[in-house]
Structure 1
Amino acid sequence: MKNLAKQISIYFSILVLLVANSPLATAQIVEKNLKKHISYLSSDKMKGRGTGSKEVSKAADYIEKHFKKYNLAPKGEQGFRQTFTAKVRRVIVQDSIRQADNVIGFLDNQAPYTIVIGAHYDHLGTGHQGSSKDSLGVGKIHNGADDNSSGVAGLLELARIYATNDVVEPFNFLFIGFGAEELGLVGSRYFTEHPTIPLESIQWMLNMDMIGRYNPDNGLAIIGYGTSSKFPAIFEGITSDIRFNLSKDGNGGSDQTSFYKKNIPVLFFHTGGHDDYHKPTDDEDKINYPAMISILELEKKVLDNSMKQDKMDFQWTN
């Protein structure tokens, strides 16, 4: 009887390992991964990830570490990095010119076209670079759990899924952590002016900025629906357990705007403003993880449907 119990235990352990490493398992959004990423990036030790700080450099290292873990190819200008300078303009500071980096990883499926997935990883630091919405917030750490540790967590989780699903997709993927977004979309604009892949090879761009504070009264905003005539077909039949609203305009206060201005179809996923926006109170314990999982599952449906399309056209929306 002891031997039988031992054999059953061994078989069960093998089954658990097989399930955990199966394509089905790797294709699922994992909450503990999202929590790990957001908890690290928005911890007090990261001091708000202000552009030019050693902490924002650590955030870039963290993204690069995971891109390497998922065996993405470096697609920056020096390895995974694309370095540029950004200027603080909203306030007067001595160190107004600061170095920043885009962190870029490529999933090469030997396809002619590429889907870009992006999220910015910088935030306001301790409020000295401007943009704090707290009149007494300068000098306090702005952790930016929602803005935009949530988007980076989504970026890394989608990178993990598509890089480890044992499927050769009909499109390549370019995953980008943008720097200096809070100083005026500087990183994404720099990339589109100095692309590391031909812009004409980009199928479309998905941007995540603040996807962690879903409010069912407002729903999830998906901005850019009108930037290609193919999006209605892509969204046809897609359902979700969260409410989402489609908006046609390609412009908006985040990094997809830089791609839209280069005639590239875009979608921007955003759960909307809240009382903690650009304040020291934007902390990890307020993140709605179940809703984040639903948002990323919705994004994956959109991504998968988009790969059934031929090269997408572009449409101006204003």
Structure 2
Amino acid sequence: MSIKINTMIAACILSYCTVSHANDNFNQAYQSFDEKEIKADIKTLSSDAFEGREPSGVGEKLTTDMLIKRFKALGLSPGNGDKYTQAVPMVSITSKPETSLNIADLRFDFPKNFVATSRKTQKSIQLKNSELVFVGYGINAPEYQWNDYKNVDVKGKTVVVLVNDPGFATQDSELFEGNTMTYYGRWIYKYEEAARQGAAGAIIVHETEPASYGWNVIESSWTGAQYHLPAKEVNEPAIDVEMWISIEKAKALFAKAGKDFTEMKKYALAKNFKATPLNLTASIRLTNEIKSSTSNNVIATLKGSEHPDEHILYMGHWDHLGSYTDDNGKQVIFNGAHDNATGTAGLMHIAKAYQALGKAPKRSITFAAVTAEEQGRLGSRYFANHPTIPLKQIVGLINMDSLDVTGKKKDVTVVGYGKSELENYLSEAAKRQGRTLTAELTPERGYYYRSDHFSLAKKGVPALSAGGGSVWYNDAEKQIGNRVKAEVAKCYHQACDEYNEAWGWQGLIAELQLFFETGYLLAESSEWPNWREGTEFKTYRDNMMK
């Protein structure tokens, strides 16, 4: 199989649309998204009974049973041989500081201004008088002629690292990707690179603007059980202790080392930057509660009428953060209504729309509700390593993570705008709603690297992440947005992410219709959209399709 790079792709899509839009069955399917039913599903998925949809917990069973029952009722076939589930082996590690983080006479309070976890499957793990070394942004990127670890030996030491990357820090479009965060700016890369360099520990300095979220997200996301794929799946070294500290504590730490934090941040951007020993040591001991468990991806397929081996993949994660018991003995549940009960329900209702066509499209449509996205995209990463469909048979992926509930828009925001030719199909589908595609307003937040589509994009599969917009459809929708937008932002990864009857439901429905038609156009086409020239994933796709 080879990729067709068709320079007239938009014209071909348009030619097809003239036929498809006249199809009464398509129009009926397009209009089949029922607000009342969608609300009911989101409300159920985000109810207390589901206990925050934690992998391997009570909520998993309720969620996966619901998905399987619905897919079966819609006539979809099992997507993993004769099974609707794909078992994902996981290791759950709950790290509890047995001692605080000790650096000189500084006081650190868990989780108020520091958090610490470990990926190591040891019941007790510690750093003992581990030398601290400031390594700037902690990046080794030959393609950007950047190496913060040049001429320094950090084996057995603990590195102190800045969040994001030099492009964001300088806003220089010639440095990395300017304001747009690269994968080198993500926390997971920084821990991985520290491990590759032989470090024993790593401390990331949290700052709200370059991290794109507040310390409250660190508190809620980095305490309690952390899920990981088994070491054999990851095949990457890991440091002993992964830590974050607040900006206030970072300033105090550098002052204790006789250095000014602001000046050291500036130095980290200099061409002559050299990793700097801080002449301090860090000690901490963690107790790890380790459990092996199995969670599940749910996969179902509507077989294509002419090319059943070619698949359009819809993906969304069903999991959220679970629950915990507070100091007063009360169970606090992270119900995750927006993130991602909306996308989970969306999978079921797009499947329903395809069923309403009456006849399956030419290519197969596969739905993958994946687990443990909140724990580092574990379900999608496992799927990418053990695909139930050969990756070269996936025409394209449409990911749904936190659908737009802030009101109907005139535009469509594309995360990672310009990366792939899938945008041609999205653009054509958007015309029906009078919408145009726009780039994300905050590329510095690195959203393209933070959800499940990235797991397959890294392998070369063209993957689309889009939704929402910046221009409301009318004043009424804008009023909804003004009321809801701040609440949604405030409740990201917080217990207040609850079902809200006052959300902008017309915006959510429009988004589902948009994704439905985008996939339908792909399914009826004979084209194989690729990554655009110059994107980091194109070589992988080209090699895959040879």
Under TM normalisation by the shorter chain, which class is it?
0.7 to 0.9
Q: Does the 8 Å CA contact 1:224/1:266 hold for their aligned counterparts? A: no
For 1:90-127, what per-residue CA distance to the aligned partner results, in whole angstroms no more than 9, with x for missing partners? 44653543321000001111414110001100101115
* Partner amino acid, structure 2, of 1:30: D
* Structure 1 Cα separation of the partners of residues 424 and 447 of structure 2: 15
In the other structure, the counterpart of 1:80 is 84
Q: Does the 8 Å CA contact 1:75/1:104 hold for their aligned counterparts? A: yes
Say which is worse superposed, 110-119 or 237-246, in terms of deviation: 237-246
User: Which ranges in structure 1 are unaligned for 5 or more consecutive residues?
Assistant: 1-21, 129-133
**Aligned counterpart for 1:175 among listed residues 356, 367, 379:** 367
* Partner amino acid, structure 2, of 1:147: D
Local SS of the residue matching 1:311:
coil
Q: Does 1:277 align with 2:492?
A: yes
For 1:251-276, what per-residue CA distance to the aligned partner results, in whole angstroms no more than 9, with x for missing partners? 32110001101111111134496111
In the other structure, the counterpart of 1:317 is 535
Q: How do residues 88-107 of structure 1 correspond to structure 2 at under 5 angstroms?
A: 88=92, 90-91=222-223, 93=225, 94-107=289-302
Q: Does the 8 Å CA contact 1:83/1:100 hold for their aligned counterparts? A: yes
Q: Does 1:260 align with 2:484?
A: no
Say which is worse superposed, 156-165 or 146-155, in terms of deviation: 156-165
Q: Does the 8 Å CA contact 1:222/1:270 hold for their aligned counterparts? A: yes
* Partner amino acid, structure 2, of 1:317: T
Say which is worse superposed, 66-75 or 242-251, in terms of deviation: 242-251
Q: Does the 8 Å CA contact 1:226/1:250 hold for their aligned counterparts? A: no
Using the TM superposition, give the Cα deviation of residue 200 of structure 1 relative to its aligned residue in structure 2, in angstroms.
0.5
**Aligned counterpart for 1:65 among listed residues 42, 52, 69:** 69
Q: Does the 8 Å CA contact 1:145/1:287 hold for their aligned counterparts? A: no
In the other structure, the counterpart of 2:341 is 149
* Structure 2 Cα separation of the partners of residues 209 and 162 of structure 1: 20
* Structure 2 Cα separation of the partners of residues 97 and 270 of structure 1: 36
In the other structure, the counterpart of 1:46 is 50
Q: Does 1:27 align with 2:30?
A: yes
* Structure 1 Cα separation of the partners of residues 82 and 348 of structure 2: 20
* Structure 1 Cα separation of the partners of residues 460 and 436 of structure 2: 29
For 1:135-186, what per-residue CA distance to the aligned partner results, in whole angstroms no more than 9, with x for missing partners? 99x9411110001000011111101111231133121111011011111100
Q: Does the 8 Å CA contact 2:425/2:518 hold for their aligned counterparts? A: no
Local SS of the residue matching 1:161:
helix
Percent of aligned pairs with the same amino acid: 27
* Structure 2 Cα separation of the partners of residues 287 and 202 of structure 1: 34
* Structure 2 Cα separation of the partners of residues 282 and 234 of structure 1: 29
Q: Structure 1 residues 173 and 236, CA, compared in 2 at 3 Å: closer, same or farther? A: closer
Q: Structure 1 residues 311 and 83, CA, compared in 2 at 3 Å: closer, same or farther? A: same
* Structure 2 Cα separation of the partners of residues 169 and 218 of structure 1: 28
Q: Does the 8 Å CA contact 2:408/2:510 hold for their aligned counterparts? A: no
Q: Does 1:229 align with 2:421?
A: yes
Q: Structure 1 residues 224 and 163, CA, compared in 2 at 3 Å: closer, same or farther? A: farther
Local SS of the residue matching 1:222:
strand
Q: Does the 8 Å CA contact 1:181/1:187 hold for their aligned counterparts? A: yes
Q: CA RMSD in A?
A: 3.2
**Aligned counterpart for 2:438 among listed residues 225, 245, 257:** 245
**Aligned counterpart for 1:203 among listed residues 385, 392, 395:** 395
* Structure 1 Cα separation of the partners of residues 357 and 376 of structure 2: 35
* Structure 1 Cα separation of the partners of residues 410 and 521 of structure 2: 25
- Bigger strand share: 2
For 1:180-201, what per-residue CA distance to the aligned partner results, in whole angstroms no more than 9, with x for missing partners? 1111100001011111111100
In the other structure, the counterpart of 2:60 is 56
Q: Does the 8 Å CA contact 2:30/2:516 hold for their aligned counterparts? A: no
* Partner amino acid, structure 1, of 2:48: D
Local SS of the residue matching 1:226:
coil
Using the TM superposition, give the Cα deviation of residue 235 of structure 1 relative to its aligned residue in structure 2, in angstroms.
1.4
Q: Does 1:298 align with 2:493?
A: no
* Rg comparison, structure with higher value: 2
